[in-house]
Chains A and B, each alone.
Chain A
Amino acid sequence: MSVVIPAYNEEKCIVQTVLSVVKSEHPVEVVVVDDGSTDGTAEAVASLALPGVTVVRQPNRGKPAALNTGMALARYPLIVMMDGDTVFEPATVHHLVQPFADRRVGAVAGNTKVGNRGRLLGTWQHLEYVMGLNLDRRMYDVLGCIPTVPGAVGAFRRSALRHVGGLSDETLAEDTDLTMALHRGGWQVVYEERARGWTEAPATVGQLWRQRYRWSYGTLQAMWKHRHALVERGHAGHFGRYGLGLVVLFTVLTPLLAPLIDLFLVYGLLFQDPARTALAWGALLGVQLLCAAYALRLDGEKLRVLWALPLQQLFYRQLLYTVLLQSCTTALTGARLRWHKLRRTGKVTAPPVSVPPLSAPQPVPAPGPVAAVQPAASVPHKKGRNLYLDFLRAVALIRVVTYHTFNWAWLTLAFPALGVMFALAGS
């Protein structure tokens, strides 16, 4: 079993990460790929002088390239990929290996747990992860079409990775892209809930925003890239018709309708019977609480964190759908042509090993203070997009929908959305 850890400026976390892996019950070799870090990431690992741990450095070429490098160096037929800020339990690798007994399995998704739950934002993400993994991913698992093996905890059969050509930097969500490619190559992808990886979730709203923008935009890109799965045969077609359909339904369409809940809540409280509105909202919250409690039980987590759920509905959910709305407008307004501009160019030097020549923004979602200097978060905006214009576009869209929902004529004066939209289209 080989464990590949791509790392970009992870000096603070990488030692813990590596130590947690070498303590695995299952024997492992560890390959840390330092992707052009500007801090002491590589030195920190090298100074541990652990047997079975290799450090390679390469000029900064992005996470997909780093993973491809690690994959080429890995000696075993099964490869675990993890993030440089994630900590494994001793049994994690062992659990990740088991499903590969089935020859058809090409990848195993692990269970990502939020490690930093002390603050409210961490607690909300903890709740979100537990519900997403235990309800959504279980459903995808049962249907045989898991759309994402998370970059934080996942294992792959090397022959399957070779089969689909390794990781690609064509989308901002290389993990989703790879998983979809595996499905299309006919490989099964399964979920192993006992393979837990403890990750550090973004600690500030800004970091969280950038992470989610990258995820949702990357997912849209990956779905578009693999859209032909819809008409393919065999397992690829099964994934295309069920998996992609469900992803569109549950990660795009339903969240896009989510703002209606808030609109109707405000509208109901102000213009309708406030008691009935509050009751309806409370009933919705009740259903959410039940689902969350069930998910927490399934994962053996404490129910105490449920206290954060009502607040999550009032503050956190809005952030998630705004980000999604922003990436959808970005995607719809011609970003397809600009994908390639998201890449960095001119920085490519000879790779240390023979892997496909790739160059990409560094998409490691690194929490902690290093995130601010990461190119990943800012690249899509600086090179390809103007965040301000995207923001105006999103506001204009929300305005149009609100206007047509409530027929408030004054909204056209408050924000002349159509003029804004035509101006943006003109530029």
Chain B
Amino acid sequence: MARSLDRGDRSATAVVRARMRRLLPPVWLFGLVVVVAMLLSGWRPDEDGGGQAAGWARMVFWIVPISEPPFADADWARQIVAPLWYIRAYLLFVILSPLLLRVFRKAPWISVAAFLALAALAQSELLPLPARVAAPFTDLATFGACWLLGFAHRDGLARRLPAAGAGAAAVAVMAVGGWFVLAHPTEEGYDLGSIPLGQAFWSFGFVLLLLRFDRRATAG
């Protein structure tokens, strides 16, 4: 993403728009197929309560995938809809990237640390966010530090870090994440997917190692 924004022949808005043009049509097609299948199985969007109008209004999230769309209460539907969170997070990151990139270039490591702190905040569930906002917020907080590491890699920043320092920092962050995961297993066991803080810290350290020690790297 940073690379596209840096190309210079298009404005940031144009880059974001081009990304959305590439991302959204497949999402819409997917949504169309899934929604039709769910409607055929007898499901109606207003099953979640809030009246018929509210239910159909929520269907807008099938078109603007920034929050969880309504879906049928069935295993197959849950499984099919599950990966949508990734698209949602990706889309939000893309939209935020022009801003994030500017902030990152002003204060790279502070913004990275801020995202790690946000991950801790998301884990603590101290913020009184409504569920509809909490989920995307948690995703962004969890993977924001990794997204910024991508910027750092693009700028060659990651490779310029002193090897020992980067290694020590990565190991320390991973140790915190790993310790937290071990201390807070969920029903699924030590599954990072349901432990935001663990996911954020462990992934950050892991990715930092991968990118710092990318010997063959050119600006990717």
Residues of chain A with a CB closer than 8 A to B86's CB: 418
Task: Bits for A398-419, please: 1 = Cβ < 8 Å to B, else 0.
Answer: 0000000000011011011011
Question: Contact partner of B202 among A389, A413, A424, CB < 8 A?
Answer: A413
- Contacts beyond the supplied A387-B216, A413-B181, A422-B146: 14 A-B pairs with Cβ under 8 Å: A334-B4, A382-B218, A388-B220, A409-B189, A418-B143, A418-B193, A419-B146, A419-B203, A420-B207, A422-B93, A425-B147, A426-B150, A426-B151, A427-B151
A418 touches B199 (CB 8 A): yes
Q: Which of A334, A389, A409, A427: most chain B CB closer than 10 A?
A: A427
B93 touches A388 (CB 8 A): no
Question: Contact partner of B214 among A334, A388, A419, CB < 8 A?
Answer: A388
B220 touches A427 (CB 8 A): yes
Q: Give 6 closest A-B pairs by Cβ, nearest first.
A: A426-B150, A419-B203, A409-B191, A427-B150, A386-B220, A426-B147
A49 at the interface (CB under 8 A from B): no
B218 touches A423 (CB 8 A): no
Evaluate whether A423 and B192 lie within 8 angstroms (CB atoms) in the complex, with A382-B218, A388-B217 already known. Answer: no
A422 touches B189 (CB 8 A): no
B38 at the interface (CB under 8 A from A): no
Interface size on A, residues (CB 8 A): 24
Give bound CA distance, A416 to B195, whole Å. Answer: 12
A416 touches B202 (CB 8 A): yes
Give bound CA distance, A420 to B147, whole Å. Answer: 9
List the interface of chain B (C-beta within 8 A of A): 1-4, 22, 86, 89-90, 93, 97, 143, 146-151, 153-154, 178, 181, 188-193, 199-200, 202-204, 206-207, 210-211, 214, 216-218, 220
CB-CB nearest in chain A for B143: A422
A164 at the interface (CB under 8 A from B): no
A73 at the interface (CB under 8 A from B): no
Least Cβ–Cβ distance between A326 and chain B, in angstroms:
15
Least Cβ–Cβ distance between A388 and chain B, in angstroms:
5
Give bound CA distance, A296 to B178, whole Å. Answer: 55
Residues of chain A with a CB closer than 8 A to B149's CB: 423, 426
Q: Which of A262-282 contact B (CB under 8 A)?
A: none
Residues of chain A with a CB closer than 8 A to B218's CB: 382, 386
Residues of chain A with a CB closer than 8 A to B190's CB: 409-410, 412-413
Give bound CA distance, A419 to B2, whole Å. Answer: 16
CB-CB nearest in chain B for A390: B220
Give bound CA distance, A386 to B150, whole Å. Answer: 13
Give bound CA distance, A386 to B191, whole Å. Answer: 30
Give bound CA distance, A77 to B126, whole Å. Answer: 79
Q: Which of A243-290 contact B (CB under 8 A)?
A: none
Residues of chain B with a CB closer than 8 A to A385's CB: 220
A426 touches B146 (CB 8 A): yes
Residues of chain B with a CB closer than 8 A to A388's CB: 214, 216-217, 220
A419 touches B148 (CB 8 A): no
Give bound CA distance, A415 to B143, whole Å. Answer: 15
Question: Contact partner of A422 among B3, B147, B154, CB < 8 A?
Answer: B147
Give bound CA distance, A199 to B205, whole Å. Answer: 48
Give bound CA distance, A416 to B97, whole Å. Answer: 22
Least Cβ–Cβ distance between B88 and chain A, in angstroms:
12
Least Cβ–Cβ distance between A153 and chain B, in angstroms:
36
Residues of chain A with a CB closer than 8 A to B181's CB: 413
Least Cβ–Cβ distance between A2 and chain B, in angstroms:
42
Evaluate whether A419 and B206 lie within 8 angstroms (CB atoms) in the complex, with A426-B147, A427-B1 already known. Answer: yes
Residues of chain B with a CB closer than 8 A to A410's CB: 189-190
A319 at the interface (CB under 8 A from B): no
Could you jot down 7 A-B contacts, CB within 8 Å? A386-B220, A412-B190, A413-B192, A416-B192, A419-B146, A422-B143, A425-B1
B189 touches A418 (CB 8 A): no
B143 touches A389 (CB 8 A): no
Give bound CA distance, A425 to B146, whole Å. Answer: 9
Question: Contact partner of B203 among A382, A389, A420, CB < 8 A?
Answer: A420
Residues of chain B with a CB closer than 8 A to A425's CB: 1, 90, 93, 147, 150
CB-CB nearest in chain A for B192: A412
Evaluate whether A426 and B191 lie within 8 angstroms (CB atoms) in the complex, with A386-B220, A392-B210 already known. Answer: no
Question: Contact partner of A423 among B97, B147, B199, B216, CB < 8 A?
Answer: B147
Residues of chain A with a CB closer than 8 A to B22's CB: 334
A416 touches B199 (CB 8 A): yes
Least Cβ–Cβ distance between B29 and chain A, in angstroms:
15
Least Cβ–Cβ distance between A127 and chain B, in angstroms:
33
Give bound CA distance, A389 to B216, whole Å. Answer: 10
Evaluate whether A419 and B204 lie within 8 angstroms (CB atoms) in the complex, with A388-B216, A389-B220 already known. Answer: yes
